[in-house]
Structure 1
Amino acid sequence: MSPQLLGLLIGSGFGTAFVLANAGDPVPGPLGIALRIAAVLCLIAVIMTGFRTDRREPPADRERPAWFGPKFGLVVVAEFALIFGGIAVLRALDAPTECNVAWIALIVGLHFVVLAPIWKRAAIAVPGALLTALGAAGMIMAAMSQTGWIPFVSGVLSGVVLLAGSLYGAARR
């Protein structure tokens, strides 16, 4: 499996998780179900398309030095520290629990923005910027005491961004 495919599978897996976990209230029931089904179908499409194109790619094209090297490791460690540390701070500040998904989207988005120059893949900065914006929007909504739609804005829409980016990446290969 190429590093690119692994990245697409991770992105689409987390995108699906974002949608599955956040497509509940206040989203109307039938729409929530439709969003969840669409997310799973998109995940399946990424898997099928990704593996099909991965098999056709010559082995020499699969090699990308340091994709998961020390710089990547540092970014991921910082990401986990910021996610879990930030959630602990939010909890200590008695922030609404809906802030957690906004914080996660914000940090995951920033992790993509930071990885873009490391991986020399400017394209991943686009979903990174969108996730960062959706996470920031959720945090702003919380500051304005408008928490009801944070799971949709920062969770479902972030999942859609990850799934769309992964599907585009799999099809483009």
Structure 2
Amino acid sequence: MTSEAPEPNTPPTPRGDTTGPQSEGRTTAAGAEIGALIGAGFGLLFLIINSSQFSTVGRTLVIALGALAFAGIAVFAVRGLMRSRAAASARDRRGPPFGRAYWIIVLIEAVLLFAGARLLSGLGHPELGVAWVAVVVGTHFYALGWVFGLDRFHVLATIVTLCGIGGFIAFFAAAPAFIPVISGVISGFALLGFAMWALVPVDR
């Protein structure tokens, strides 16, 4: 009676091995952690700036929720960055997400934000600034979704852009008080929510 000899030089895969074939298909997209931090930072800033017209209790609640969400995102994003660096040689990455394309997007965004805000102020409608910011920030996430390989950012881009457009609609509907709520607070929570979603692993 004979038995088959084990294959030489084939060490067993330990349980819980995150680099084995069973787990290679699920991981965060390239740049997801940094992208989540960027989105969450914008979201918290939107809440802080645009909740000033709320009551003291309402503003405190909005900012507290935003701060808690940002803190949670920051913890998971930093942990994800540390894990990805430790396992960099075993992960299938598209390449560094912060290449020339990323910085071109950021430069265009900065120019549009500054020029648009100055133009609106010059026309006597500075209250439309937050709506313009939401449109620019929203559309720039379309490009970032491509750079980071994170298609779900396209959904975020659509929501925030629509919030910005909603602010312009509120202005033309003679309801300017709703501009910071629609374009600012709602956009802020959308950014925070999608920053959390960005950290969910995707199929590679």
TM-score of the superposition, structure 2-length normalised? 0.76
Residue aligning to 1:142: 171
The aligned amino acid for 2:81 is D
Cα offset for 1:15? 0.8
C-alpha offsets along residues 40-71 of structure 1, whole Å, 9 cap, x if unaligned?
A: 00011001122223333321338442511122
The aligned amino acid for 1:127 is L
Alpha-carbon distance in structure 1 between the residues aligned to 2:100 and 2:75 = 30
- 5+ long unaligned stretches in structure 2: 1-29
Secondary structure of the 2:176 match is coil
The aligned amino acid for 1:84 is F
Checking the alignment, whether the CA contact within 8 Å between 1:142 and 1:150 is kept in structure 2 is yes
Figure out how many residues of one structure are paired with residues of the other and give that number. Answer: 169
Residue aligning to 1:56: 83
Residue aligning to 1:129: 158
Q: Percent of pairs identical after alignment?
A: 27
Alpha-carbon distance in structure 1 between the residues aligned to 2:111 and 2:74 = 29
Alignment map for 1:22-171 (pairs within 5 Å): 22-25=50-53, 27-57=54-84, 58-60=87-89, 61=91, 63-95=93-125, 97-170=126-199
- 5+ long unaligned stretches in structure 1: none
Alpha carbons of structure 1 residues 62 and 166: separation in structure 2 relative to 1, 3 Å: farther
The aligned amino acid for 2:102 is F
Cα offset for 1:131? 0.5
C-alpha offsets along residues 80-125 of structure 1, whole Å, 9 cap, x if unaligned?
A: 1111111111112111x22111100100000011332343321110
Secondary structure of the 2:177 match is coil
Residue aligning to 2:40: 12
Residue aligning to 1:21: 49
Checking the alignment, whether the CA contact within 8 Å between 1:3 and 1:64 is kept in structure 2 is no
Checking the alignment, whether the CA contact within 8 Å between 1:3 and 1:62 is kept in structure 2 is no
Secondary structure of the 1:149 match is helix
Find runs of 4+ consecutive structure 1 residues off by over 4 angstroms: none
Alpha carbons of structure 1 residues 62 and 102: separation in structure 2 relative to 1, 3 Å: farther
Alpha-carbon distance in structure 1 between the residues aligned to 2:82 and 2:148 = 22
Q: Higher helix share goes to which structure?
A: 1
C-alpha offsets along residues 121-153 of structure 1, whole Å, 9 cap, x if unaligned?
A: 211101111110000100111122211121111
Secondary structure of the 2:37 match is helix
Secondary structure of the 2:124 match is coil
Checking the alignment, whether the CA contact within 8 Å between 1:102 and 1:135 is kept in structure 2 is yes
